[in-house]
Amino acid sequence: MTSPTQITVSQLSRLVGLPDAPVLVDVCIDEDFADDPRLLPTAFRHPYQDIAALAPKLAGQRVVVICQKGRKLSQGAAAVLRNCGIAAESLEGGVFG
């Protein structure tokens, strides 16, 4: 079941390409990205260890954080962004989803 701080794949797929689509931030570790070096459309990579540095650039935008499985990396990075005042969610199931 999706938590209040997650977005499902189907919910996100309806938003991609729209003017108010969320910013997609991929925080997969390098090893996981090397195994599958594809990004979701419009996503960009950023190291999860330095996610707070993105907060000023993301101010006022909705953000979806993505990792391989949608667990600790993306959930933790989204929590850091929320603590910085950013409307951030993680993608349920991550890239695998």
In this structure, what DSSP letter does residue 79 have?
A: H
**Rounded CA gap, 78 and 83, in Å?**
9
- pTM for the whole thing? 0.93
pLDDT of 34-58, one tens digit each? 998 999 989 999 999 999 999 999 9
> Could you tell me the domains of the chain?
6-96 (3.40.250.10)
**Rounded CA gap, 46 and 43, in Å?**
10
pLDDT of 64-93, one tens digit each? 999 999 989 999 999 999 999 999 999 999
